[in-house]
Amino acid sequence: MKKYVIAFVVIASAFAFMPSRANAQWSQTGSFPGGNYPVHCITSTSADLFAGTYGSGVFLSTNSGDSWVARNSGLPTGININAFQILSTFLFAGTDSGVYATSNRGETWTQVNTGLPAKTAVNAFVIVGTNLFAGTSNGVYTVSLITLSWSPNGTGLPSGIAVTTMAISNASILAGTNGDGVYQSADSGKTWFAFNKGLPGTPHIVSITSNGANLLVATKDLGVYGGNVYQNNWTAASTGFGNIGIQVLIGYDTFALAGGMESTNGSQPSIYLTTTSGANWVADDEGITEGPDSYVYSFGTDAQNFYAGTNGLGIWRHPISNITDGVNEPTSGNPPANIVLSQNYPNPFSTSTAISYFLPEPAAVSLKIYNSLGEEIASLINGELQTGRQSVTFLSDNLPNGIYYYRFIAGKDVQSGIMSIVH
């Protein structure tokens, strides 16, 4: 078996509780040609950063946002870009007019709507294994990468349901809807069931994210709720927000960010951070210009930075390395009782990615990487580890593009995750 270089870091001996205000700084990237348009989605490869806008199509940066060029050949003028997803050699863009795809870094786009109902808006994408799922205004669809044709996915979703956001948590798919709450599928989209216990009715869900099995959902005007993919039971998770409408969430490593609408007088921050799975949030928008144009629509990452897309101030970036600087973590309080395996970040990735986890007590731990054929290609951990939050970095070396799996065993607890390599 080929050996892979890894870096092992102990992050903390217990979860953080009651964090205070962070003091990290955001900086504005370069402007788009023609102006700063509302940014609804952001994604990256190892070399490229893509921004999807409302009304002005797609923009590409090859220097972490310092400068941008339009990439709209083949896209209708004035198109709204709602979501991006990279799979195999394709970059897919979900729009109000279905799906477009490019295999040449956005130089040309082709409409790939075969199988989708007419006038279908595509709002979200997720990947499970080698399958791409699209959340649309007419339910969930999956695409064949051979024919680039779409077919409706699974049973259990109401006919014509509008899916607004999607996420993956420990191989389960979560779909947020416009007025029907949350649905979950634990069998790669074959069957779906309502996942709404504890939510205020069946709300409009605007964003879902995960840290391993831990979930956060943002509702339209009804706050943020936290849950667990294995328990259909949501609880309120909006402490610290004040009067702000959260539009987007992103989970990363052992924390999460929430973005939304800043008040017109600048008194309400537009980005918040939690290190406690949503139990408490602190403002984390220092450096961003105040005002209504700082409404945060989208988040994205590359290997070095977080990116926040705004309503009229373009994209702002923040180094990943110090996003939690200034958050104080008192040692009092009860740490989580269960093992927590986080989704690897970044994902997809080109050269390296971090897999983080929390151990509530010492345990014999194994963490292995497998390819899509089930063949073991790396063993990252095999030994006794102590209590706390910890992280291991996996370097992909010369592994080919594709879907890979990581399997985490701690004592009798077994958890797994899915990651994608895109060079």
- Domain containing 407 — which CATH number? 2.60.40.1930
Does residue 298 form part of some domain?
yes
Omega prior to 203 cis, within 30 of 0:
no
Does residue 216 form part of some domain?
yes
Does residue 300 form part of some domain?
yes
User: Do 261 and 402 fall into the same domain?
Assistant: no
CA dist 137 → 118, 205, 360 (Å): 11, 13, 42
R_g of the chain, CA atoms, integer Å: 20
Confidence bin at 293 (pLDDT 50/70/90): confident
- Per DSSP, the residues of 254-293 read TEEEEEEPPPTTS-S-SEEEESSTTS--EE--TTSPPSGG
User: Do 354 and 264 fall into the same domain?
Assistant: no
Does residue 261 form part of some domain?
yes
Nearest to 121 by CA among 72, 81, 73, 153: 81
CA angle 25–419–168, rounded 5-degree value: 80
- Of 322, 352, 374, the one marking the end of a domain is 322
Report the SS3 class of residue 36.
Answer: coil
Phi-psi region of 217 (alpha: psi -120 to 50; beta: other; left: phi over 0): beta
CA dist 133 → 35, 141, 156, 179 (Å): 32, 6, 16, 20
pLDDT > 70: percent of the chain: 89
User: Do 209 and 318 fall into the same domain?
Assistant: yes
Per-residue pLDDT tens over the stretch 92-114: 999 999 999 999 999 999 999 99
Give the span between the Cα atoms of 237 and 224, in whole angstroms.
Answer: 5
Tokens linked to 402: 């594709």
**Residue 417 identity (one-letter amino acid):** G
User: Do 308 and 344 fall into the same domain?
Assistant: no
Domain containing 36 equals 18-322
Omega prior to 117 cis, within 30 of 0:
no
Nearest to 216 by CA among 157, 176, 260, 178: 176
Who wins on pLDDT, 16 or 156? 156
User: Do 255 and 347 fall into the same domain?
Assistant: no
Q: Count CB atoms within 10 A of the CB of residue 127.
A: 19
Cβ proximity of 113 and 99 under 8 Å: yes
Per-residue pLDDT tens over the stretch 214-244: 899 999 989 999 998 888 999 999 888 765 7
Give the span between the Cα atoms of 274 and 311, in whole angstroms.
Answer: 23
- Is the pLDDT at 115 greater than 60? The verdict is yes
- Of 322, 349, 367, the one marking the end of a domain is 322
Lowest mean pLDDT among 108-112, 333-337, 412-416: 333-337
What total number of domains does the chain contain? 2
Give the span between the Cα atoms of 139 and 163, in whole angstroms.
Answer: 6
Give the chain's mean pLDDT: 86
Kindly state the average pLDDT of the residues 300-307: 92
User: Do 39 and 174 fall into the same domain?
Assistant: yes
Give the span between the Cα atoms of 42 and 28, in whole angstroms.
Answer: 15
Confidence bin at 156 (pLDDT 50/70/90): very high
- Domain containing 61 — which CATH number? 2.130.10.10
CA dist 78 → 53, 61, 75 (Å): 9, 20, 9
Does residue 13 form part of some domain?
no
Pairing of strands 352-359, 363-370: unpaired
Per-residue pLDDT tens over the stretch 186-196: 888 999 999 99
Q: How far apart are the first and last CA of the chain?
A: 22
Predicted confidence at residue 264, as pLDDT, reads 47
pTM score, whole prediction: 0.77
CA dist 417 → 5, 338, 369, 370 (Å): 20, 17, 10, 10
Does residue 10 form part of some domain?
no
Cα torsion through 167, 172, 176, 181, rounded to 10: -150
Confidence bin at 329 (pLDDT 50/70/90): very low
Does residue 4 form part of some domain?
no
- Of 273, 301, 322, the one marking the end of a domain is 322
Does residue 9 form part of some domain?
no
Nearest to 37 by CA among 311, 316, 288: 311
